[in-house]
Chains A and B, each alone.
Chain A
Amino acid sequence: MKARTLGRHFRESLKSLGRNGWMTFASVSAVTVTLLLVGVFVLIMMNLNKIADDVENDVEMKVFIALETGQEDIDRLENEISVLPGVESVDFSTKEEELTDLILNFGDDFSLYEQNNPLFDVFYVKSIDPQQTEKVAGEISKIDQIEKVEFGAGKIEKLFNVLNTGRNVGLVLILALLFTAMFLISNTIRITIVARRHEIEIMKLVGATNWFVRIPFILEGMWLGLLGSIIPIGLVAALYYNVTVYAEPRLKNEIFQLLEFSPFIYQVSALILLMGIFIGVWGSFMSIRKFLRV
């Protein structure tokens, strides 16, 4: 296609947006609402996924060493555990260190125990594959002088369940909204087609190709989608920027972190933009097929 022709198509499609005024506004609004929800949904889901991954990768076993175990035995135990298959690392922590952590995390009330520390010396053990944690824990607990092994069994599964339910509910909601937006766009395009039917008739009579007739409508649909994606991109970016600014210092010491503002927000923006264009182009295709017999 020649550049001149493309220029003409662009002008025609833009003119038509103005001519359809209110329908343009309605379609763009529908796309805006849809994409805004899609954007927020993506932010939430992607971050929950990230958190689940972080948590999953951080599954640590806490291995309690029996009381009255001497330093020699502790060193021997550490070696024994670290050569077990599937063990990535073993870190020793004395009961004094444990208490310090406890006081740090839960307050000075626990400093009472400084007189008579009831805690155990522990190993923090990480398995190479988080999925294998349970098996490795079983192995470790068989060793003598190991009081017990704790790990976050079940918690991860619960998190994934919540994630999946949220994802399904969100997807249904978004699909319904996408259809509404597409329907509105296809109606707008239909109005354009009806308004320009004489022009289309003459174009066809003088030998314009079918694509020449179609392209302005496809472009108009694309504009509707594109315009509808501007506000969502802006709002989602602003929202996420504030969320990250708010959350970053508060999550500093947590095992999980939110996705970094950049490049995540650019990916989300690109997704919103592409979805907008897709909705618009698809919506106009539906009308073209039905009302434009070219």
Chain B
Amino acid sequence: MIQMKNVYKKYSNGIVALNGMNVEIDQGEFVYVVGPSGAGKSTFIKMMYREERPTSGQMFVDGIDIATLKNSKVPLLRRQIGVVFQDFKLLPKLNVYENVAFALEVIEEKPEEIRKRVLKVLDLVGLKHKARMFPTELSGGEQQRVSIARSIVNKPKVVIADEPTGNLDPETSWDIMRLFEQINKSGTTILMATHNREIVNSMRHRVIAIEGGLIVRDVAGGDYGYEG
């Protein structure tokens, strides 16, 4: 699903974010990406949806060559990928239903198909009854559910989550994690950057630790590995 070979990333300000990274992630895996701030986690994540481009090296996501992908083809890559952020990134003027439908409207999906799929994912994340509410009327956890619903409504093969529980209290974080596990069980690859030690240590999955732009540890069913 995701292959990186000697991926190197140097920003224009001279900072080297990735220093020859090698990794392979298969379809259906659930992977935590951990590491201290500034280690290169964000760059690693951003490369998955071609927000950043490798300076050198080879990288494929779902068979798409990220290094040589033309700007005009980036939308095609992103339709294969769902992205979830710490700050949800919902549109405040749209209600729950519209926020999720937005993802399908802008890729010109048929209206009847949009309706069917939006209602289905809202049911999956448990927010069907709040479809007409606006983001500001929802709790943080509910907002994150909406954003997860939006990320999977397009039936992506992989969901990238950047600190999805970073803004949530522990109780809500567990609910969100259970939702991710459920999505993963249906065959979707999950790649999640996190600082949440408890979650990583109790919901065991593959852990990739990044430090200084390199993968320093890659253990299936591993623990968080850093002191709280």
Contact = CB atoms under 8 A, between A and B. Distances in A.
A290 interface: no
Interface residues of A, number: 18
A209 B78 CA distance: 10
* Chain B: interface size category: 20 to 34
A253 to B, nearest CB: 66
A1 to B, nearest CB: 8
B13 interface: no
Q: Is the interface of B mostly helix, strand, loop or mixed?
A: helix
Most B CB atoms within 10 A — which of A4, A198, A199, A207?
A: A207
Given A2-B108, A206-B150, 6 more contacts: A202-B91, A202-B102, A204-B75, A206-B154, A207-B75, A207-B79
B103 to A, nearest CB: 4
B106 A212 contact: yes
Nearest to A293: B71
Contacts of A209: 72, 75
Contacts, number: 49
Interface of B: 49, 71-72, 74-79, 83, 89, 91, 102-103, 105-108, 111, 150, 154
Nearest to B51: A205
A251 B102 CA distance: 65
A242 to B, nearest CB: 49
A20 interface: no
Most B CB atoms within 10 A — which of A201, A204, A206?
A: A206
Interface string A1-30: 010110010000000000000000000000
Given A206-B154, A207-B154, A198 B91 contact: yes
A175 interface: no
B72 A206 contact: no
18 contacts: A2-B108, A4-B111, A5-B108, A8-B105, A198-B91, A201-B89, A202-B91, A205-B49, A205-B89, A206-B103, A207-B76, A207-B77, A207-B78, A207-B79, A207-B154, A208-B106, A208-B107, A294-B71
